[in-house]
Amino acid sequence: MSAEERFGHTPALRDQANLDPVTGLYNRRFMQTYLQRLLAIAARRRRSVALLVLQAAHAPAAPGDFLTTVAGQLRLMTDKVGIVGRLSGDQFAVVLPDHSFAEARALAQAFDDCLIAADGSSLSWGIAVFPDDGLARGPLLTAARKRLAGACRAHAPRSRNGDGSSAAAVLGLLERLVSSIDGRDHYTRAHCENTAAYCLALARVLRLDQQRCRTLRLAALLHDVGKIGIPDDILRKPGPLTPDEFAIVKHHVNIAGHLIVGIPCAAEVRDIALHHHERWDGTGYPDGLKGEAIPYLARLLAIADAFAAVTMDRPHSPSLSPRAAYAELRRVAGSQLDPQLVAAFGAVVEGLLRDRPALRLALAPEPGLEPA
């Protein structure tokens, strides 16, 4: 279900009168009408709405390509959680129902990092949130544009990851992406770091080479970065998700795929992160891949991800012991998880049960496994 449908205002048709002819996004007229109607609904339901106005601060020489690139990426990142339109020239608006200022800022920062890493282009943005910054469309737009103007003055063009190959620059990009998760949800960052540790432990049991270990570690650290696009009330919900909420959560793998750029082996890392929720029996997402059609390292990540998840306290369930967690992995082996890899993961669990401090040392990444 789209953001429009969630808030009761689906346009009758995405006809040409509502669309910008250059980007295919909603046009200024539609965005203003939609925002006005959405604010009325949000006021009745006592819900927040974040308005994000973005403008190019530094763009490549081909403006047409830049506009279509930005439009496509924004549409993909905000699918199911918001709508995107072109206001004028190189200025875009994103309307995010149920988002806070911090959530909108995290999405904007991650999107900016994505553009910088991809081709050196960059954006400035201004954010306003209903009802704190205004109770109607006009004041909200004014507040967002005022902050955008300040950001444009302060925004110096940045180059793509420094020299494009520096290990420090890559680590800086990774830290920004991982920190964007931590700013939304401390559990998710700790979970990603634990998942990376278990991935490396299993990779060593399987005697994978250093390059595959490095790629797997990057994928594990970034596999949930797409959760920056999920509203807090869904991300932290203590009870079961509704089908519509689960559809929004599932979209995090697609968002992650568009954020993971500018790092070593980016294409493979994206592929692993995209498919770590596929299931061995073919009932997973996003593509319903089955068995060995699922990328090998994504199958490995799925096991480490599941083990890390159930051994940490979560909003809807307490943590399991390592022994109980591994029993759960064995229970779903052959349906959710690759049964041979689950069997191999037993050696990791045995090490954890025998000597926790020793295992922590073993899980620490070797110098050669740091991003190159």
Report the CATH number that the domain containing residue 44 is assigned in CATH: 3.30.70.270
Asked whether residue 91 falls in the same domain as residue 177, the answer is no
User: In this predicted structure, what is the pLDDT of residue 357?
Assistant: 45
Q: Quick check: is 161 in a domain?
A: no
Contact 261, 174 (CB under 8 A): no
pTM for the model stands at 0.58
Q: What is the per-residue DSSP string for 204-267?
A: HHTT--HHHHHHHHHHHHHTTGGGGGS-HHHHT-SSPPPHHHHHHHHTHHHHHHHH--SSTTHH
Asked whether residue 215 falls in the same domain as residue 333, the answer is yes
Asked whether residue 190 falls in the same domain as residue 332, the answer is yes
Q: Quick check: is 193 in a domain?
A: yes
Measured CA to CA, the distance from residue 141 to residue 144 in angstroms comes to: 5
Q: 180, exposed or middle or buried, with CB in 10 Å at 0-12, 13-18, 19+?
A: buried
Asked whether residue 348 falls in the same domain as residue 284, the answer is yes
Asked whether residue 233 falls in the same domain as residue 285, the answer is yes
Contact 339, 333 (CB under 8 A): yes
Which of 120, 154, 188 terminates a domain? The answer is 154
DSSP state of 339: H
Answer with the residue of higher pLDDT: 2 or 83.
83
Q: Quick check: is 186 in a domain?
A: yes
Q: What is the per-residue DSSP string for 65-76?
A: HHHHHHHHHHHH
Q: What is the pLDDT of residues 265-322, one digit of tens each?
A: 788 988 998 999 999 999 999 999 999 999 999 999 999 999 998 988 766 678 888 8
What is the CB neighbour count within 10 angstroms for residue 17? 10
Asked whether residue 111 falls in the same domain as residue 218, the answer is no
Measured CA to CA, the distance from residue 225 to residue 177 in angstroms comes to: 7
Asked whether residue 279 falls in the same domain as residue 145, the answer is no
The domain in which residue 28 lies consists of 3-154
DSSP state of 318: P
How many distinct structural domains can be found in the chain? 2
Asked whether residue 62 falls in the same domain as residue 184, the answer is no
Q: Quick check: is 162 in a domain?
A: no
Q: Quick check: is 159 in a domain?
A: no
CATH number at residue 199: 1.10.3210.10
